[in-house]
Amino acid sequence: INVLNRSPLFARLVSRDAPTCNYKIMDNEYSMRYYLTDGIYPEWATLVKSIKEKNGVPLTRKQAHFTKAQEAARKDIE
């Protein structure tokens, strides 16, 4: 969390000075970059966390696939 507070990258996101990154997913257009994170990061729109089981409700196949791919990508980065 301290890294986010001191990061010029995230300071630029907050000030809306960051370069755009346009992409489309399932007919939804986005212009903000996103970053793969785990559960310790704050709930920011630009931070994408793994989907976890809630109250014993298992993940759908689609959610499980996303979580597996996201965690694999995050491990490559770490």
For CA atoms 38, 44, 52, 75, the dihedral sign is negative
Q: What are phi and psi of 48, to 5 degrees?
A: -105, 120
Per-residue pLDDT tens digits for 36-77 = 887 788 888 788 888 888 777 888 999 889 888 888 887 766
Question: Element (H or E) spanning 6, and its range?
Answer: helix 2-6
Q: How much is the pLDDT for 1? A: 63
pLDDT-derived band of residue 78, with 50, 70 and 90 as boundaries? low
Q: Which residue has the higher pLDDT, 65 or 3?
A: 65
